Structure 1
Amino acid sequence: MKRIIVDYKKLTPEILGLLVDKYPDGYDDDQVISFKNAKNETVDAVEVRTDDTVYLVKVSTRLENTMANFDEDDYEDSEFNDPIVDIPEKTEDVEEEEEEK
């Protein structure tokens, strides 16, 4: 089984969906794993699993906010494996402009 450390910048909608499913009300301190990385820095992360991979997602305030606002329907199927920071944010203003045309 692969173990992958994921930073917020590399977080995909797929992994974010796994996080929201596993931690629908957010995560508690006792669910956070602390470990030393290759640079001997302490890293705090939460774990989610697929059939073949264990993802350790680094904990941050930005991650918590993104999990709270996640809606799977906001993403196209083609975007589901792209890092969320690379996907343009969809806003209501854009949808309203499209409706006016």
Structure 2
Amino acid sequence: MIRKIVEYQKLNTDILNLLIDKFPDGYDDSDIISFRNAQNEVIEAVEVKTEDTIYLVKVGKRLVQAMEDFDSTDASDKEEAPEMAEDLSDDFDEDLD
């Protein structure tokens, strides 16, 4: 299984939907995974999975706001969202193998 670390700025609608499905009321401290990256920096992330990939989404105030904004959009905005995020769908920070 592939692991990818994703910044909130690079979330596509699929990952946002996974986050909202897994954490409909938001995440708390028990959901956060802490680890050190290759530069020995402490990273905090929440985990969501697809069939072949584990996404570690870096947490922060902006992630919470992005989830709230995405969840509160109406159906017409959700239809437009894939077009806006399309260019970022394969553009992730780091791959962990």
Superposition TM-score tier, normalisation by shorter sequence? 0.7 to 0.9
Gaps of 5+ in 1: 85-101
TM-score (norm 1): 0.74
Q: Which amino acid aligns with 1:26?
A: G
Q: Distance in 2 between matches of 1:15 and 1:6?
A: 9
Give the CA deviation at 1:7: 0.5
**Structure 1 segments (4+ residues) deviating >6 Å:** none
Match of 1:13 in 2: 13
1:32-47 matched pairs, under 5 angstroms: 32-47=32-47
51 and 80 in structure 1: CA distance in 2 versus 1, 3 angstrom threshold: farther
Tell me if the contact between 1:14 and 1:80 (Cα under 8 Å) persists in the aligned partners: no
Larger relative contact order (CA 8 Å, sep ≥ 6): 2
Name the larger-Rg structure.
Answer: 1
TM-score (norm 2): 0.77
- Percent of aligned pairs with the same amino acid: 55
Match of 2:83 in 1: 79
